[in-house]
Structure 1
Amino acid sequence: MAERPAEPRGPVHVDGEVVATKRVGGYRHLTLTAPGVPERFRAGSFVAVTVEGHVARRALWIHRVRASSAFGPTLDVVVDVRGSGTAWLAAQPVGTKVAVTGPLGRPFALPKEAVSCLLFGEGYAAAPLFPLAERLRERGCAVSLVVSAPDEAHLLSALEARRSVRSVTVLTADGSVGQRGTAADHLDDLVRRSRADVVYAAGPTGVLRSAASAAEQVGAWSQVAVEVPTPCGTGLCHGCPLPVVGEDGVDRVVRACAEGPVVRGDRVRWDAL
């Protein structure tokens, strides 16, 4: 049904630099130079950034890559401030040097044929779905995108998405923009109406579980980008356990940062996660 992109050469650890920073709604968008990372990028991979004063690095979804700019190849990441580490990152001005490792993780697998795809993302975690939509469109797939958030300030790039997808549906829990409601309220209906062959999802665990369940009900194939804390991002520390069912039907625990973060939705042991 799908093929995973050819694996690029392994990740690199480089000294990057913040070359642009801007506040967009409830998030901080950073543009970084990180030589070798944009060239290896595949939709669904991420970077781990060293944070001053912290042992554990911060894993960030790659929202966009630019092959050329005034600074050479760059990558964009979205920072949602949740603690002291992300607060430090969000506060860094242009010119700050940052240590970056990436791209990391298993990317989204792409359909071998031009099929109908539904992409569902919530909040900042929707970031990897935007480059995915572009790749799917290049393959002739019909792409529908759903972006959701608690409120308008935490929607990610809804207007921007209209350039690369067939349709965009916006959901906000408070009804401030788009349709009122959450993923749980609308996912079953959206998946059914889209007649999607493949469902891709990125967001909190509850959203991913709902997406995987909705896809299974209509016989669609699903992939989910799981968010589990990844202290090192490279698989060495084994600190990001992800419970799954293997191809052999045996329960096991894999590393979210290495065997994930993108996995088949029907393989995740959601109750254990």
Structure 2
Amino acid sequence: MKPLHVTGEVLASKKVGAYRHLTLVAPGIPERFRPGTFVALSVGGEAARSRLARRAFWIHRVKPVGGYGATLEIVVEPVGVGTGWLAALAPGARLEVTGPLGRAFALPQEKVGCLLVGEGYAAAPLFPLAERLRERDCPVTLVVAGDDEAHLLSALEARRSARSVTVVTRDGSVGQRGEVADVIDEVLTRSGAEVVYAAGPSRTLHAVAAAAERHGAWSQTAVERPLTCATGLCQGCPVPVVGEDGVARLVRGCVDGPVFRGDRVRWDDLEAQ
């Protein structure tokens, strides 16, 4: 289905650690959601639209709320002008929302063990994905990572979403100290997962895709690129891949992705951009 462009409304705003969770009323968009798709928001208000590009955000959760019908929740890390403006919005504020956009995660056709690896706010789409996988009776193992405790996304919820959870922080404030790359092989061995899903910085996705290949697992990675139009028109979000024909090419992160097979992304070229 084609994405919708609607005027949305902030229904609720809650600070959780380093992030701001916004619940949005965006008619028609939640009903079209699939895990791994995203929305683009116009930020900064009328005065700033000529200066600020739209921002893309993973859809973290879709849920019914009272008389509003289905709503969607996004996770904002306020690190710049645009995200700072969004994080400061109060309930009742209105904003332009386009979505859902992009290609979603593909779900396995059979009951197989699945490993989900998420770092920082980018772990957002993995939680609804875990729900869909459990509905298919797929055993789910989760790795949740962040710089520190404040940058772990929904660590408590993770324990309700999976049969096993590994928490990793760079400063060691919660869980194991280190990087996803330090634990991924051990978790893959222990879980016996045949399908691996990952969302996070490119270095983390690279490590997960490489580990999945070593273990004979199939990987899907949600690749984040800076977006301008989010609709594929501007060609401003290139992702270097190897096609099914073995030919290297550039594709668009917003419409050809954001989810790509881990073994198809040319990670060294992506990280060099």
Shift of 1:70: 3.5
Residue 100 of structure 2 corresponds to residue 83 of structure 1: no
Equivalent residues in 2 for 1:30-179, closer than 5 Å:
30-52=22-44, 53=48, 54-179=51-176
With over 3 angstroms needed to count, the CA separation of the structure-2 counterparts of 1:224 and 1:47, relative to structure 1, is: same
Taking the TM superposition and a 5 Å limit, the aligned residue runs for 1:175-186 are: 175-186=172-183
The answer to whether the 8 Å contact 1:38/1:67 transfers is no
Structure 2 Cα separation of the partners of residues 70 and 180 of structure 1: 44
Cα RMSD (Å) = 0.9
Report SS of the residue matched to 2:190: helix
Among all aligned residue pairs of Structure 1 and Structure 2, give the percentage whose two residues are the same amino acid: 67
TM-score, structure 1 normalization? 0.95
Report what 1:27 is aligned to: 19
2:229 to 232, 244, 247: 232
Unaligned stretches of 5+ residues in structure 1: 1-8
Q: Distance in 1 between the 2:66 and 2:95 partners?
A: 19
1:245 touches 1:252 (CA, 8 Å); kept in 2? yes
- The structural deviation recorded for 1:230 is 1.0
* Matched length: 265
Q: Is the 8 A contact 1:244 1:253 kept in 2?
A: yes
**Distance across 1 between alignment mates of 2:120 and 2:52:** 26
How far apart, in 1, do the equivalents of 2:187 and 2:163 lie?
A: 14
1:43, distance to aligned residue in structure 2 (A):
0.1
User: Could you tell me how far 1:81 is from its partner in structure 2?
Assistant: 1.4
Residue 111 of structure 1 aligns to a residue in which SS?
Answer: coil
1:184-220, Cα deviation, whole Å (9 max, x unpaired): 2111221222111001000000000000000000100
TM-score of the pair, normalised by structure 2: 0.95
Q: Alignment partner of 1:112: what SS?
A: coil
Q: CA deviation at 1:69?
A: 3.0
Task: Report the structure, 1 or 2, having the larger helix content.
Answer: 2
Aligned counterpart for 1:17 among listed residues 9, 12, 32: 9
